[in-house]
Amino acid sequence: MKKTIFLAFFFLFNISLAHAGAGGHAGHGGGGSGGGASCIKARLGKFTPEHLETATPESEFSFRAFNVQHPDEIEVTIKNQPIDVTFEDKEAFILVKGKLPEAYKNTTVRINIKVNSKISKCDAEGGWLLKVTE
C-alpha cells in the first residue's frame, strides 16, 4: 500500500514538472512579468550635434526616439532644468528638437533624456555632452 501511494505521488510530481517546463520559459517572465505586461525598451539615437561637438547658445539640437508610444513620455533636461522640445512623428521614430538655453556659455552641458513609460521596466535614459561656446 505504501509503495502504491509513493508511486502515485512520484508519478504526479513528474507530470507536474513536465507540464511546467513545457511552456518554454515558464516562470521566467518571457519579456513580460507581473500581469503579462510586456514592452520593447525605448532606444535613443542620432544625436545632433554629435557627442562632444561644439555648439553655440540657442543653437538647435535633435535626436531620435525609437519604440516610444507617446511623445509626452519624453522628458529633456539640461543641468536639471526642463527644456522645451518639439516632436515630429516619423512613423518609425519620433524626432525630438530643442534649443540650447542662452544662459549656458563657455561650458559643457549634458542633454539628459528620460523616457517614462507606463511600465517602469520599459523606461529608458540617455543623453550626450556638448561644448557650448560664447
φ, ψ for residue 12 (rounded to 5)?
-65, -40
φ, ψ for residue 36 (rounded to 5)?
85, 5
pTM: 0.70
Q: Which helix (H) or strand (E) holds 124?
A: strand 124-132
Contact 106, 134 (CB under 8 A): yes
Q: Report pLDDT for 85.
A: 97
Q: Compute the distance between CA of residue 77 and CA of residue 97 in angstroms, rounded to an integer.
A: 12
Kindly report whether the peptide bond that precedes residue 49 is cis, defined as omega within 30 degrees of 0.
yes
* 12-23 pLDDT per residue, tens: 445 444 444 444
* 74-114 pLDDT per residue, tens: 999 999 999 999 999 999 999 999 999 999 999 999 999 99
CB atoms within 10 A of CB 36: 9
Q: Report pLDDT for 122.
A: 83
Instruction: Return left, alpha or beta for 20; rule: phi > 0 is left, psi -120 to 50 is alpha, else beta.
Output: alpha
Q: Report pLDDT for 8.
A: 52
* 22-76 pLDDT per residue, tens: 443 333 334 444 455 677 889 999 999 999 999 999 999 999 999 998 999 999 9
